[in-house]
Structure 1
Amino acid sequence: MKYKTIAAPCTRTLIEKRSEFIAAVTPVQTAEQAIACIQDAHAAYRKARHHVYAYVLRDQNISRYSDDGEPQGTAGLPVLDVIRKQGLTDVCCVVSRIFGGVLLGANGLVRAYGQACAQALRDAQIMEMCACRSMTIQCDYTFYGRLQFALASDPVIITDTQFTDAVTVTLLVLEEQAQSLCDRLIDLSNGTITVSLEDAGYRDFSSVLP
C-alpha cells in the first residue's frame, strides 16, 4: 500500500491580467490542520478578496473545497481537480486572489486557479509514502560485503549501521517485500546472520523507487 503527498509547504504566485493568485500548498493530516491553513491565508493576505481552498485527506478519503465567493465551480473545484489528477492526498491548497481590476470570466478563473495550484505543486517535493517494515540484520565482518552487494539491487533505505563485535544494519523495506528479502539473505548467508522485522508504518520511498 502506498500514497503520495508533499514533504513541506510551498507557496507560488501566478499573475493573470493584473490579478495575483497566491497558491499555498501544505501537507495536512486532519481537517483541523486544513482549516488552520485557510485561516493562515486570511491573516497573511488581507488584501485578497477570495481565499479559495481545496483539501484531500487519506483518513476516510475526505475531500472538501470552497469557491469563497467566486462564481460556482470556477475556483475550488479546479483546485481540487489538480490535486486529484496528481494522485495526491493529505494536501491542502489555498489560493488567495488579490483582484487586479480586470474581470477574467468563468473560463479565465477556472484556468487561473487551476494553474496557480499546479504551479505550487510542481515546485513542491513529492513523497511516495509506502507501507514498510524495519529490518535489523546482524552479521559478521566477512559477510558484510556480500550483504551490501545483495541490498544494492533492492529498494531499501538503510537507516543505521553499527560496527562492534559484529555488523548491525537497520533498514526500511517495502512491506510486501520484507519476508522474501529476509529469506533470501538468510539463504545467502547459509543461516549465519540474524534478522528481525518490525512494523514501521508509512515512510517516503521516492528516493529508491523507479
Structure 2
Amino acid sequence: MGQEQNMPPSYRTVYTGGEGKYEEKKSVFIATVRHVETEEEAVAFIDEMKKKYWDARHNCSAYVLGSRSEQMRASDDGEPQGTAGRPILDVLIGASLTNAAVVVTRYFGGVLLGTGGLVRAYTQAARDGIDNSVLTEKIYGTILEIGAEYTDVGKLQYLLAQQSVPVLSSEYLDKVSMRVILPAQDADRLIRDLTEATAGRADIKKADSTYYCEVDGEIIM
C-alpha cells in the first residue's frame, strides 16, 4: 500500500473541453481545450488543431500532465518568446488543472499587438476556453470486492447507502458479489464497518486502486 500513500488524494482536470474566443485589433484568438492523459495524446491534439486551423498564423499551445502536474510543455509557435505558450501554461497552472491541453489559434489582423498585448490576448483566450469547459475533480480511490450471504445484503446496502459509496456492479448467484469504489483513505474504515455489520461473514478484499470521478451519477475512471 506504499504506492497509495504516495498518490495525491485528488486532482482537478477537464471532463469536457470547451472553446474560447478573444479579439484585439482585428487579430482573432481561438482557444480549444481538451482532456489528455499522455504526451502522445497532447501532441496528437495539437497536430489536430494545426490541421483544422491550417490557414492561421499561429497555433500556440500548452499542456500539463500527471497527478502531481509533473510534466509541463508550452510552445510559442513563432510568436515572440514567452508571449504565448507560457501565458497559456500559466492559465492552466492558475486553474490547478492537470491532464489538460490548450491550443490558442491566432488569425493575424495586420496590426502588431506588442509583447504585453500578446500576453493579454493569449491569456484571455485560454481563460475563456477553460471557463467554457466542464471541469471535474478526480479522486484516488480503492475498489473493494465484497462477497456475502443473502441474509447480509440488507445490512451491506444500508451501510453503503449511508456512506454514499457507489456500487460499480452486483451479481446475485449462490452468493452476492459486489464491487464498490470509494476514496482510498476511507477504504479501511469501510472494511471495518462492513465486517462488524456482518459479524465477519462478509468476504471483503481490495481489488484495485485508480482515479475516478462521478458525473451525473455515473462513475468515470
User: Which position in structure 2 is the counterpart of 1:13?
Assistant: 21
Shift of 1:44: 0.7
Distance 1:100 1:156 in 2: 54
TM-score (norm 1): 0.85
Give the length in aligned residue pairs: 208
Distance 1:62 1:95 in 2: 20
Q: 1:199 to 1:71 in 2, by over 3 A?
A: same
Q: 2:211 aligns with which of 167, 178, 202?
A: 202
Q: 1:137 to 1:41 in 2, by over 3 A?
A: same
SS at structure 2 position matched to 1:120: helix
Q: 1:122 to 1:156 in 2, by over 3 A?
A: farther
User: Which position in structure 2 is the counterpart of 1:126?
Assistant: 135
Query: Which amino acid in structure 2 is aligned with residue 91 of structure 1?
Result: A
Distance 1:36 1:194 in 2: 45
Q: 1:40 aligns with which of 45, 48, 68?
A: 48
User: Which position in structure 1 is the counterpart of 2:120?
Assistant: 111
Query: Which amino acid in structure 2 is aligned with residue 95 of structure 1?
Result: V
User: Which position in structure 1 is the counterpart of 2:182?
Assistant: 173
- Aligned-pair Cα RMSD in Å: 2.4
TM-score (norm 2): 0.81
Q: 1:155 to 1:52 in 2, by over 3 A?
A: farther
- The answer as to whether partners of 1:54 and 1:66 remain within 8 angstroms in 2 is yes
Shift of 1:133: 1.7
Q: 1:74 to 1:139 in 2, by over 3 A?
A: same
SS at structure 2 position matched to 1:23: strand
User: Which position in structure 2 is the counterpart of 1:24?
Assistant: 32
Distance 2:211 2:87 in 1: 29
In the alignment, does 2:186 pair up with 1:187?
A: no
Distance 2:205 2:45 in 1: 41
Identity %: 37
Q: 1:154 to 1:20 in 2, by over 3 A?
A: farther
Q: 1:163 to 1:14 in 2, by over 3 A?
A: farther
Distance 2:216 2:118 in 1: 36
SS at structure 2 position matched to 1:7: strand
Q: 2:110 aligns with which of 85, 93, 101?
A: 101
Structure 1 unaligned blocks of 5 or more: none
- The answer as to whether partners of 1:156 and 1:174 remain within 8 angstroms in 2 is no
Distance 2:48 2:140 in 1: 32
- The answer as to whether partners of 2:171 and 2:177 remain within 8 angstroms in 1 is yes
Q: 1:24 to 1:191 in 2, by over 3 A?
A: same
Query: Which amino acid in structure 2 is aligned with residue 159 of structure 1?
Result: L
Deviation readout 1:99-138 (Å, 9 max, x if unpaired): 2334433333222211211222222232322322211223
Between stretches 85-94 and 192-201, larger displacement belongs to 192-201
Structure 2 unaligned blocks of 5 or more: 1-7
Shift of 1:71: 2.6
